[in-house]
Amino acid sequence: MTATTNLEIKKDMAIIVKKFGGTSVGNIDLIRNIAHRLTSEYHKGEGLVLVVSAMAKTTDELFSLAYGISKHPSRRELDMLLTAGERISMSLLSLALMEEGIPSISFTGSQSGIITDEKHGNARILKVNAFRIQEELEKGKVVIVAGFQGVSTSKEITTLGRGGSDTSAVALACYLKANKCEIYTDVDGVFTADPKLVEKPKLLRQISPELMLTLCYNGSKVLHPRAVEYALKYGVEVEVKSSFTFAPGSLITNKMTENNEENNMEERKVTAIAHKNALLRYTFPLNVKVLKTLSDWYYEIYKSFVNEGLLELFVESKYETEVDYFLQERNTKPISKKGDLAFVNLIGLGLGHDPAFLATVMENCQNFNILRSFNNEQSIELLLPDQNCAAAVKTLHKIYIEEQV
């Protein structure tokens, strides 16, 4: 990343970037609570940069308004609309800090210098020129930044896709050479499986960026995978923790302690289980026309496979209407489209290269109608009917995590 300023933050000032998700800033009381909790950190002399998401459900409500007007709203205009949600959050948090006697200022993504490409709805950050943030930190202010958004090289407002506030936070931490990036959410950290699904989830106190990235790309909702990519590339330590307690959570770091969950990996230990349900599978012939369509694609793809001249794309069913319209506009017809699919993914170093371990997994999944299995050095990925997803996660978590000593 490059900067366009010669300003430098004072060397003795610790910079902490903190990101607060939608449920963390879901109402006025929660916002006031965050501001109150931050007073002690501010008075320690730390430079605080706060990245906020839209208040809970706000983005969904804005989507509904847009689709109430148009069946296929312009992606540019959607970006203009959706970025309003984060602007509300940042302003309210700034006001709350001022009520605590803390000087603060809020910036949109574009004012923060987050420069993106021109892909509306799922833009990628090209560089960060956060000189205004540096200037305000030098003045002793807390800086609040609207996450999820930036400005393109052609001066258009863009959004980074769902979960993009995580990406905003880690990107700013990289630019500012922050001591740490903290992601505050409505759970205590990163668990061995969805705590809303399994009976005895275990909190992972430490996890490597590589395994965390595998978890994110396989369905974990705690962090956006692009945020973990930044953390891995630029060596930023990220901690996921509760916005309700501010207690220590899960540290994503390569500086592992002796008691971390990834030791003894020769035992083919399952670190965590991720899943993604409500999936659609589009199957296409692998030809020039389809490849051109793919090059224009701007919806998130969960997984893709090429097999014997066929291209398979797995996407979340919530994108079905827009994907179908996108394909229709380009006169690209899939060979088939199948819904009600899910993936259950066992994550852990070395799992995918152990046939004996794969045998035990298949034996324990006999009742779940496994359609296909894929593997790599850090995971075993199971494709199965959506209706069997929850039961498979619960069963595998109990066997490979809960019952392990």
- pLDDT per residue, tens digit, the chain (405 aa), is 443 333 444 556 789 999 999 999 999 999 999 999 999 989 988 899 999 999 999 999 999 999 999 999 999 999 999 999 999 999 999 999 999 999 999 999 999 999 999 999 999 999 999 999 999 999 999 999 999 999 999 999 999 987 799 999 999 999 999 999 999 998 899 999 999 999 999 999 999 999 999 999 999 988 989 899 989 998 899 999 998 899 999 999 987 665 555 554 445 689 999 999 999 999 999 999 999 999 988 888 999 999 899 999 999 999 999 999 999 999 999 999 999 999 999 999 888 788 888 999 999 999 999 999 998 888 999 999 999 999 999 999 999 999 885
Check residue 76 and give its pLDDT: 95
* Cα(153)–Cα(114) distance, integer angstroms: 10
Query: What percent helix, strand, coil does the chain show, rounded to 5?
Result: 35, 25, 40
Check residue 13 and give its pLDDT: 78
Residue 314 to residues 159, 291, 360, 365, Cα–Cα distance (Å): 22, 16, 26, 22
Write out the binding residues for substrate. 59, 86
DSSP secondary structure of 187-212: SSS-BSS-TTTSSS--B-SEE-HHHH
Give the count of beta carbons closer than 10 Å to the beta carbon of residue 64: 10
CATH topology of domain 265-402: VC0802-like (3.30.2130)
Write out the binding residues. 19-22, 59, 86, 185-186, 221-222
Write out the binding residues for ATP. 19-22, 185-186, 221-222
pTM here is: 0.88
Check residue 268 and give its pLDDT: 61
Inter-axis angle of helices 225-234 and 209-217, to 10 degrees?
160
- From the options 3.90.1150.10, 1.10.3470.10, 3.40.50.970, 3.40.1160.10, give the CATH code of 15-186: 3.40.1160.10
Check residue 101 and give its pLDDT: 96
Check residue 181 and give its pLDDT: 96
Burial 4-25 (b: 16+ CB within 10 A, else e): eeeeebeeeeebbbbbbbbbbb
Nearest to 123 by CA among 82, 72, 69: 82
Nearest to 94 by CA among 159, 26, 142: 142
Inter-axis angle of helices 75-99 and 28-43, to 10 degrees?
60
- DSSP-derived secondary structure letter, 239: E
Check residue 163 and give its pLDDT: 79
What are the residue boundaries of the structural domains of the chain, listed by start? Answer: 15-186, 265-402
* Cα(23)–Cα(392) distance, integer angstroms: 28
Check residue 7 and give its pLDDT: 41
* Cα(295)–Cα(197) distance, integer angstroms: 36
The tokens describing 401, both together, are: 């995590």
Classify the phi-psi angles of 382: left when phi > 0, otherwise alpha if psi is within -120 to 50, otherwise beta.
beta
Q: 3-state class of 139 per DSSP?
A: coil
Instruction: Report whether 79 contacts 162 (CB < 8 A).
Output: no
Check residue 267 and give its pLDDT: 54
- DSSP-derived secondary structure letter, 9: -
* Cα(286)–Cα(81) distance, integer angstroms: 36
Instruction: Report whether 15 contacts 177 (CB < 8 A).
Output: yes
**Dihedral sign of CA atoms 291, 295, 296, 300 in order:** positive
Vertex 154: Cα angle to 150 and 158 (nearest 5): 30
Instruction: Give Cα 66 to chain centroid, integer Å.
Output: 24
Check residue 133 and give its pLDDT: 96
**Dihedral sign of CA atoms 191, 196, 197, 202 in order:** positive
Q: Is 253 exposed, middle or buried (0-12, 13-18, 19+ CB in 10 A)?
A: buried
